[in-house]
Amino acid sequence: MYYLRPISDAIAANPAREKDMGFRTRQIHAGVTPDPLTGSILTPIYQTTTYVQPSVDEYMSRGFTYSRSGNPTVRALELKLADLEGGVDCSCFGTGMAAVQGVMLAFLNAGDHAIISDVAYGGTYRLCTKILSRFGVEFTFVDGSNLDDVAAAVRDNTTLFLTETPANPTMKCSDIAAISKIAKKAGAVHAVDNTFLTPYYQRPLELGADVSIHSTTKYMDGHNATVGGAVISATQEHAEAVLFIQNSTGSIMSPQVAWLTLQGCKTLSLRMDAQSANAMAIARHLEGHPKVKQVCYPGLESFAQHELSSRQATGYGAMLWFEVEGGLESGKKLMDNIDVFSLAENLGSVESLITHPVTMTHAAVEEAERIRVGIIDGLVRVSVGLEDIEDLIGALDKALDLV
């Protein structure tokens, strides 16, 4: 198997990696120490291509040879994310989709079969149906909330399960522990896209999953400043498989992005708590609004998997969607006339964003498939930020008055 990148003494000696320390302590300190040369409290940006070796016999003794294979700034972020998720190691990628691709290339070969959440990010759906399917990989998209359907989809050649929970954009939740047991019985790897809830609220590896995936672009960054991805593995074998793909495809995260993401991680819990509180307030307000047909947020008692969400996660997150009375045209009018919220595709940032998945994030998904899984034309997706809740609710009310 491909080797794991050695950990420098300065990083490995960090006492914040002790598991008995709290999440907020570890999100600040895990993976980083003051720079041994200058004492800088922030990990330096190691903007370098290559690393001079002390001798032929001591090749790799410092842990780094070429920045496609490993970089000290990126490594600090990888160690931090591995610590927060409770994994053995992490590989950081240039984008969230590169991370998803890394998992699929690591655990799928021609002739293999994968079971994918029927509601998944549009890029994941496109990767499966338009690209990897051309190379003899088979995919079945299954309702992850129905365990009988998940079990029935297993084939002799099933090698990978990819569960997105909560799902983008419908917020459907799937039972991570139960699906992990099905995957284990099938001898398959279970990967969970944990982007929406982050390890602060949901820890897939502790629930039995083998791999946790993140678009670090979202909550890990939190400031609309970078694009990146990460894959955290529960075992060294899986970590080595993902690392081999990261290195071989040249898809490692850049040191500049890693440095910015390291800073974003330090406030993850504070942002998540404040954004989630705002989301709950908005969901409850919209649930009683006469011009809103339906609201979908895991924290609401009316949410289909509210009990499951409460059981496997410690928070409900800051993503929700709603449907305006009048359907597509009313929803478009609302989004074109709203203040404070920005009409944009990203999520997880301190700024509140509003999105129309049918024409934006999930435009690549065929209409029949979208409708089948509940991505209706009038669905308005909201990523709730850190603005004053009075301003957010006021902006929604003002826009709803216009439809």
- The enclosing domain of 240 has a CATH number of 3.40.640.10
How does pLDDT run across 111-130, given as a tens digit for each residue? 999 999 999 888 999 999 99
Closest CA to 88 of 192, 206, 235: 235
Domain co-membership, 97 together with 234: yes
Domain co-membership, 381 together with 363: yes
pLDDT range class, residue 7, cuts 50, 70, 90: very low
145 within some domain: yes
207 within some domain: yes
Q: Is the pLDDT of residue 326 over 60?
A: yes
How does pLDDT run across 168-207, given as a tens digit for each residue? 989 999 999 999 999 999 999 999 999 999 999 999 999 9
Domain co-membership, 94 together with 164: yes
Domain co-membership, 213 together with 329: no
358 within some domain: yes
CA–CA gap between residue 179 and residue 170 (Å, rounded): 19
Give DSSP secondary structure letters for 192-208.
EE-TTTHHHH--GGGGT
334 within some domain: yes
The domain containing residue 48 runs over which residues? 9-265
Q: Is the pLDDT of residue 4 over 70?
A: no
Domain co-membership, 245 together with 340: no
1 within some domain: no
Domain co-membership, 27 together with 169: yes
- The enclosing domain of 385 has a CATH number of 3.90.1150.10
How does pLDDT run across 159-176, given as a tens digit for each residue? 999 999 999 989 999 999
> Has 218 been annotated as catalytic?
yes
| pTM of the model as a whole | 0.94
CA–CA gap between residue 54 and residue 75 (Å, rounded): 21
Give mean pLDDT, residues 132-152. 97
Domain co-membership, 113 together with 260: yes
> Has 155 been annotated as catalytic?
no
Q: CA torsion sign, 301 to 372 to 136 to 227?
A: negative
For position 216, what pLDDT does the model report? 98
For position 18, what pLDDT does the model report? 52
> Has 181 been annotated as catalytic?
no
Domain co-membership, 226 together with 272: no
Domain co-membership, 243 together with 321: no
Domain co-membership, 258 together with 294: no
Say which of 118, 121, 210, 219 is annotated catalytic. 121
For position 13, what pLDDT does the model report? 44
Domain co-membership, 163 together with 292: no
pLDDT range class, residue 60, cuts 50, 70, 90: confident
How does pLDDT run across 240-261, given as a tens digit for each residue? 999 999 999 999 999 999 999 9
Say which of 193, 316, 332, 370 is annotated catalytic. 193
pLDDT range class, residue 5, cuts 50, 70, 90: low
Q: Which residue has the tokens 């899984």?
A: 373
Q: Average the pLDDT over each of 39-53, 163-177, 362-376 and give the range with the smallest value.
A: 362-376
For position 9, what pLDDT does the model report? 42
> Has 193 been annotated as catalytic?
yes
Q: Residue 189 is encoded by which pair of tokens?
A: 């790897």
133 within some domain: yes
Q: Which of 215, 236, 265 is the last residue of a domain?
A: 265
Domain count, the chain: 2
